[in-house]
Amino acid sequence: MPSRRHFVQSVVAAALPAALPLRPALRDDGVARMFEATGFLGNRSAEEVAADEDYWFEIQQAFTVDRSIVNLNNGGVSPSPRIVQDAMRRYLEYSNQAPVYTMWQVLEPQIESVRRRLAAAFGCDAEEMAITRNASEALEICQLGLDLKPGDEVLTTDHDYPRMLTTWEQRVRRDGIVLKKVPFPAPPPSLDYLVDLFAKGITPKTRVIHFCHITNLSGQIFPVKEICQLARSRGIEAIVDGAHAFAHFPFQRDDLACDYYGTSLHKWLLAPHGTGFLYVRQAQIDKLWPMMAAPAEMNGNIRKFEEIGTHPAANHNAIAEALTFHQGIGAERKAARLRYLRDRWMKRLDGQPRVKLHTSYDPAQSCGLANVEIEGLEPAKIAGHLWEKKRIIVTAIGHPACNGLRITPNVYTTLDEVDTFVAAMEGIIRNGLA
């Protein structure tokens, strides 16, 4: 039976291109041995594997993180595993040998293999997948690229990402469109409540519905398919902000029924910082303007959204290693582990004096990202105290519906780190911020 250490070594080896030298400690027989190594998991469910600390200990060793810091803000940007860092370093060093040849002619064309793998993981055609630098770029292509006229309405929520709201507000000033932001409680009463929220907000002037797959504030997952079907039935464009969703929990394009989807890959996929993708359904590509100009002959080509001038090939090429690492763990097992870590701290704090949870336990409504409030204390002051006294990184959220701390562990997070956070919070509950 393969050992757990053998499994991680095989995951790492599988991610390295055959033409590049392997680290001495790693196996050299690639993907086949990686899948062989997963055999020790047997037929155990994802939930059973989520509690196997021997297994996750080996996953944790794939990272180079500073264990003197408890980093519970992986929702902003996450550290990449060593194999991703090594790959990006190799690509960058190779680029610098003679960039006009090594970067433009050798490495840059390899974006097509990355495109194919990302498309397969998302469940779409490669000709519908553009590689971007982050979710903001992907989404702004849609926000700025749709033809809208004065008086046209965009319907969104007041929980959506500030940069995306700012983009719509600029179109309000520039083009005279109308932006409607509907509020909702965190967590909401049900998923149907969220569908009804949009249904009630639609008017004859609504042209776009823009919403998060999972919010960055409280980790609320939206019923994407139902909302997109609602929009399509009314002839309305639907833009889905998937910044925190892709590689966080399992889904594919057909589970969403969306036409536009933008995400970052440096969060939950653990890809190089400054990577993302934009999905545009084939029939919609021609009518969506690129953010930077492309020639007319590219009107129907997904690559027109990548016309951004000179950029490093290393970042997007190393996405392949991140995909291999993610797929080696398995999307179901990864999501189960993230929920296991979330439940560990949420259930210990739940019911304690002044503690208010703004995230549902329901797996249909949340995964690894959650929000907790200590009533009567400002989130920013709690976050500052946790950092100064305990070297714990969290995110302060100052939204009226979820005024608390956003907590986002990842697969490298240990139970001891989660428990350190809980103990610190219990100390604050008992003694305040003294």
Percent of the chain with pLDDT over 70: 91
Q: Is 364 left (phi over 0), alpha (psi -120 to 50) or beta?
A: alpha
Residue 271 lies in a domain: yes
Name residue, tokens 């929702």: 75
Does 20 or 51 have the greater pLDDT score? 51
H or E segment at 280? strand 276-280
Distance, in Å, from the CA atom of 433 to the CA atom of 148, rounded to the nearest integer, reads 50
Sign of the CA dihedral running 254, 255, 257, 258: negative
Closest CA to 212 of 145, 165, 266: 165
Indicate whether 317 and 368 sit together in one domain. no
Residue 98 lies in a domain: no
Distance, in Å, from the CA atom of 271 to the CA atom of 340, rounded to the nearest integer, reads 23
Residue 139 lies in a domain: yes
Mean pLDDT of 54-81: 96
What total of structural domains would you count in the chain?
Answer: 3
Closest CA to 242 of 211, 270, 269, 272: 211
Residue 75 lies in a domain: no
pTM: 0.90
Percent of the chain with pLDDT over 90: 90
Residue 28 identity: D
Mean pLDDT of 378-402: 98
Q: How many residues does the chain have?
A: 434
Indicate whether 156 and 289 sit together in one domain. yes
- Is 10's pLDDT higher than 90? no
Indicate whether 293 and 243 sit together in one domain. yes
Indicate whether 305 and 339 sit together in one domain. no
* 204, burial (CB in 10 Å: exposed 0-12, middle 13-18, buried 19+): exposed
Indicate whether 264 and 367 sit together in one domain. no
Residue 337 lies in a domain: yes
Mean pLDDT of 31-51: 69
42 secondary structure, DSSP code: T
Classify each residue of 320-356 as buried b or exposed e, where b means 16 or more C-beta atoms within 10 Å of its C-beta.
bbbbbbbbbbbbebbbbbbbbbbebbbebbeeeeebe
Indicate whether 315 and 412 sit together in one domain. no
H or E segment at 180? strand 178-182
Residue 69 lies in a domain: no
Domain of 374: which CATH number?
A: 3.90.1150.10
Position 248 confidence tier, pLDDT thresholds 50, 70, 90: very high
**What token pair was written down for 83?**
């194999």
Q: Which of 22-36, 140-154, 301-315 has the lowest mean pLDDT?
A: 22-36
Indicate whether 110 and 208 sit together in one domain. yes
Q: What average pLDDT does the chain have?
A: 92
The number of beta carbons lying within 10 Å of the beta carbon of residue 319 is 28
Indicate whether 188 and 143 sit together in one domain. yes
For residues 27 and 9, the answer to whether their CB atoms sit within 8 Å is yes
Residues of the domain holding 254: 103-322
Report the pLDDT value the prediction gives residue 434, as an integer from 0 to 100: 80
Report the pLDDT value the prediction gives residue 17, as an integer from 0 to 100: 40
**Tens digit of pLDDT for each residue in 156-183?**
999 999 999 999 999 999 999 999 999 9
Indicate whether 247 and 171 sit together in one domain. yes
Mean pLDDT of 350-369: 98
Indicate whether 275 and 345 sit together in one domain. no
CA 403, distance to chain mean position in Å, is 22
Distance, in Å, from the CA atom of 357 to the CA atom of 351, rounded to the nearest integer, reads 9
Indicate whether 123 and 251 sit together in one domain. yes
Classify each residue of 30-45 as buried b or exposed e, where b means 16 or more C-beta atoms within 10 Å of its C-beta.
beebbeebbebbeeee
Residue 276 lies in a domain: yes
Indicate whether 138 and 259 sit together in one domain. yes
**Tens digit of pLDDT for each residue in 94-145?**
999 999 999 999 999 999 999 999 999 999 999 999 999 999 999 999 999 9
- Is 146's pLDDT higher than 90? yes
Mean pLDDT of 35-62: 84
**Tens digit of pLDDT for each residue in 212-221?**
999 999 999 9
**Tens digit of pLDDT for each residue in 299-319?**
999 999 999 999 999 999 999
Mean pLDDT of 263-273: 98
**What token pair was written down for 159?**
């929980």
Distance, in Å, from the CA atom of 75 to the CA atom of 79, rounded to the nearest integer, reads 11
